[in-house]
Structure 1
Amino acid sequence: MGLEERRRRRIARRQSEILAAAARVFAEKSYANATTRDIAAEADVAEGTLYNYFGSKRDILLAIASEADAPMEAAVGQAMAMETRQAMVYMFEQALDLSAARLDFARTLVGEAWLDDHILQQFLMARLQAIHARLTEFIRARIAAGAFRPIEPDLGARVAMSIFGGLMLPVLRGVAPIPSAEERRALAEGIVDVLLDGVRARPLQP
């Protein structure tokens, strides 16, 4: 590995550390009430060091918004190649795991989107629309393959996102604890069960 590559990796690592620290500070204090001094203290760097990586507190917020849903998009992207029930469970479990691991990023994004139209439209809504489009495409493909009964793909995608969002919203708000790994697995199983089988009682098998 050359010196330039090591330098790029070092910069990327420090940027990630600063963003993680800022997300924790913003989630706790809110963006408006946090200062660059707070972020620097949380990241264990000098305040002036922040400006070697980001031009302002606003730039840090925008970088967090850019990264907040990237892992979620990656998890949804895996759905395009999934054909079994257990594969779908794995997809939702991964999405729940990623949400739990990056909770401060998600809290910052959702909290600031409520107050900042730019964050709402350019980051939160754009990401949600991208996820919705991929889920719609997935459902349409599974209908064409005969795996799903004929439904409106757009509606199916909205239902899936609503179930997931409804489960995570209390956690994002801080009024419910982060589900354990076992609970996240059970939630993923439950989401897939409702999506694929609904809530109607099924006849007993002979």
Structure 2
Amino acid sequence: MNTGVLLSRRDRNKAAKREAIARAAARLFAERGYAATTTLQVAAEADVAEGTLFRYAGTKPELLLMVINEHLRPLVDLSVDAQANDPVDEILLLLGPLISLAESQPDNAAPFLREVLFGEDGPERDESLAIVDRMIARIGTILAPHLDGDVDMTLDEVARWVFSALVSELLRDVVGRTDGGGDRQLVLRTRVRVLLRGLGAA
């Protein structure tokens, strides 16, 4: 048998198993929440052994990161392509996928954000951090034409500060929510406006 064909088939099988695992985890996390879902349940839903699941995601947190990375990656790419005239609008548009996740799946958004910020190293966390770096770089691009020249911070530092402040607000919201009241978009818009005003950018 041709080695190239064999490898290609093996790669296709691996990709199919990974897709099945990610799809099963996404459905169960959305239905039950991350905390209430076990890796054994995900493996059963994906029709693979639990040991096979751990070959694709070494831990349950890595599995969550895999699922949300798959969700965020194309949305972030789309939001980067979109343009708005107001830097506040542009930043909120860029962070739209994270905001949407917090609104639609708060039980998954909180552990995801915690794992990105404080989790153990792993390939899926590396991918999450790469997505975050792209967001931060884009925030820097958005802010560059608007920043006050007297700001005693580099553009990267400013972008990371703005991103961290907004992610902290999202995390506080999804962890400490009570009745789910309030307009999250309005609150975040106000936070961004205040931050940028302090930087001479809004």
Change (3 A) 1:192 1:101: same
* Superposition deviation, residue 161 in structure 1: 0.5
Taking a change above 3 Å as real, the CA distance of residues 35 and 110 of structure 1, as seen in their structure-2 partners, is same
**Mapped partners of 1:164, 1:176: distance in 2:** 16
Relative distance call for 1:135 and 1:199 in structure 2 (3 A) is closer
Task: Confirm whether residue 73 of structure 1 aligns to residue 76 of structure 2.
Answer: yes
Q: Deviations over 1:64-119 (max 9, x none)?
A: 1532532662475156x222267347527735234322445434434555453115
**What are structure 2's unaligned runs of at least 5 residues?**
1-16, 58-62
Residue 47 of structure 2 corresponds to which residue in structure 1? 50
Give the counterpart letter for 2:76 in structure 1.
E
Q: Pick from 155, 178, 190: which aligns with 1:153?
A: 155
CA RMSD of aligned residues (A): 4.1
**Aligned residue in 2 for 1:4:** none
> Structure 2 residue aligned with 1:18, among 2, 16, 24?
24
Match of 2:172 in 1: 170
Partner Cα separation in structure 1 for residue 131 and residue 92 of structure 2: 21
Tell me the distance in 2 between the aligned counterparts of 1:93 and 1:18: 26
Q: Is the 8 A contact 1:132 1:157 kept in 2?
A: yes
Report the alpha carbon displacement of residue 135 of structure 1 after superposing the two structures with TM: 1.2
2:66 is equivalent to residue 63 of structure 1: yes
Q: Secondary structure at the match of 1:170?
A: helix
Residue 93 of structure 2 corresponds to residue 91 of structure 1: yes
Q: Residues 67 and 104 from structure 1, CA distance in 2 versus in 1: closer, same or farther, beyond 3 angstroms?
A: farther
Q: SS at the partner of 1:128? A: helix
**Percent of aligned positions with the same letter in both sequences?**
16
* Letter aligned with residue 129 of structure 2: M
Task: Describe the SS at the equivalent of 1:82.
Answer: coil
Any conservation in 2 of the 1:66–1:123 contact (CA below 8 Å)? yes
Task: Look up the match of 1:138.
Answer: 142
Structure 1 residues 98 and 67: alpha-carbon distance in aligned structure 2, compared to 1, 3 A threshold:
same
Q: Distance in 1 between matches of 2:199 and 2:179?
A: 26
Task: Give the TM-score of the pair, scaled to structure 1.
Answer: 0.60
Residues 121, 49 of structure 1: alpha-carbon distance in 2 compared, 3 angstrom cutoff: closer
Give the number of aligned pairs: 171
Q: Give distance in 2, aligned partners of 1:94 and 1:129.
A: 16
In structure 1, what is the Cα distance between the partners aligned to 2:45 and 2:25?
15
Q: Which residue of 1 aligns with 2:129?
A: 125
**Alpha-carbon shift at residue 120 of structure 1 (Å):** 6.9
